[in-house]
Amino acid sequence: MAPADKLRVGVLFGGRSGEHEVSLMSARSILQALAGDKYDVTQIGITHDGVWLVGEDVLERMIANDLTGLRPVTLLPDPTRPELFVINKRDGREVLESLVGLDVIFPVLHGTFGEDGTLQGFLEMAEFAYVGAGVLGSSLGMDKAIFKDVMRANGVPVVESAVVLRSEIANQSEAVLERAEKVAPYPLFVKPVNLGSSVGVSKCRGRSDLIEGLMDAARYDRRVMIERGVNAREIEVSVLGNDAPQASVPGEIIPAAEFYTYDAKYHDDRSALLIPAPLSDDLAAEVRSIAVRAYKAADCAGMARVDFLLDREDNHLYVSEINTIPGFTQISMYPKLWEASGLSYPRLVDRLIELALERKADRDQTERRYYR
């Protein structure tokens, strides 16, 4: 039993996503920041198959792919039971037994079933406090196509694009190619609508590249986006807060590859992060202002990283995407930008938990019954 003065934090990591391994890397840093006397932390690892597990050193066991001795657990969508339940076998039957109460959930789940609003909806049904955006903000941030529509509606600049379906790629390939080529001249970028960390993203210089890129992206999602290629610098801004969000100093990515691929992000130390980005004061202020506008338009909360394309030819800014659970690895931009803005990594993690509790208190003010 945790001492009464300790906040009970459940950290979720892994998950059913192409970004499973990235989640494990992020979780390691967050767990290190949570270590100490302030929090009572429960590690909850989620396998590729969606099994929730607890036990001794869950994270390291999952990284080593050795799950022996770990126990399956679950949460219930019941607001009267804010607990983690272990699934035990007794007399040939599976029974739920209360394991630990939780005050706040810290999801470190990148991609589908963690960053897309599905988990957030479950946690809201159970009335847990949790770190990060709510159902709407998470869903919008994950869905690159709808996100662009919302940005356009709010006057936030985005690059021209089109969306096709996996079934169309398989059954109407010629029509898909023609539609894609109407977006803009080559090069075109192709990406899964609902995924991050550059998984399934291709730069296409011609039709053969486009065919391969469409087929690769369709492995990861039923909807695929085709986007005009921009000869751009990659600028990122970290945003933090609920109703009154603040933006960090901007940073710039200098990728080791031609664009910021999965390997360039997580495995190639030749990729460079320039913090702060070499921008004029006016342009840096514009980046921060647009980042906050995008954050508010998407109804984000807690945290998000807003990614920009800065056209090298005319200095035009485009919002590329918003990441509601950005990477927290040792080389991740989100915490590094806040560190450069005066907020240390441990204090950033503390602040995110504070914002989660603040958001929960705000939700609790909503009336659930109507009396005439």
Q: What pLDDT, in 10s, does the model give residues 115-128?
A: 999 999 999 999 99
pLDDT of res. 1: 43
CA distances in angstroms from 336 to 111, 209, 236, 251, listed in the order given: 21, 35, 11, 9
- Region 252-268: what's the mean pLDDT? 61
- The CATH T-level fold of domain 7-130 is Rossmann fold (3.40.50)
User: Taking the domains of the chain in order of start, what are their residue ranges?
Assistant: 7-130, 141-156+231-362, 161-228
Chain centroid to CA 120: how far?
Answer: 12
CB 144 within 8 A of CB 193: yes
pLDDT of res. 242: 98
Tokens in use for 163?
A: 């969306």
> Which ranges constitute the DSSP H helices of the chain?
20-34, 58-63, 118-125, 135-142, 144-153, 166-171, 173-183, 207-218, 262-266, 281-297, 333-340, 345-363
Q: Where are the beta strands (DSSP E) in 35-156?
A: 39-46, 52-54, 71-74, 83-90, 93-101, 104-108, 129-130
Q: What is the overall mean pLDDT for the chain?
A: 92
Read off the pLDDT of residues 193-229 as tens digits, 9 standing for 90 and up: 987 557 789 999 999 999 999 999 999 899 999 999 9
pLDDT of res. 257: 55
- Region 363-369: what's the mean pLDDT? 91
Percent of the chain clearing pLDDT 70 (strictly above): 94
pLDDT of res. 17: 86
Does domain 141-156+231-362 sit in CATH 3.30.470.20? yes
| Cα distance between residue 372 and residue 369, in whole Å | 10
- Superfamily for the 161-228 domain: ATP-grasp fold, A domain (3.30.1490.20)
Count the alpha carbons within 13 Å of 166 in the hemisphere toward its beta carbon: 11
Which pTM value belongs to this model?
0.90
Q: Residue 66: enclosing H or E segment and its boundaries? A: none
- 331 or 339, greater pLDDT: 339
CB 221 within 8 A of CB 243: no
| pLDDT above 60: residue 263 | no
| pLDDT above 80: residue 279 | yes
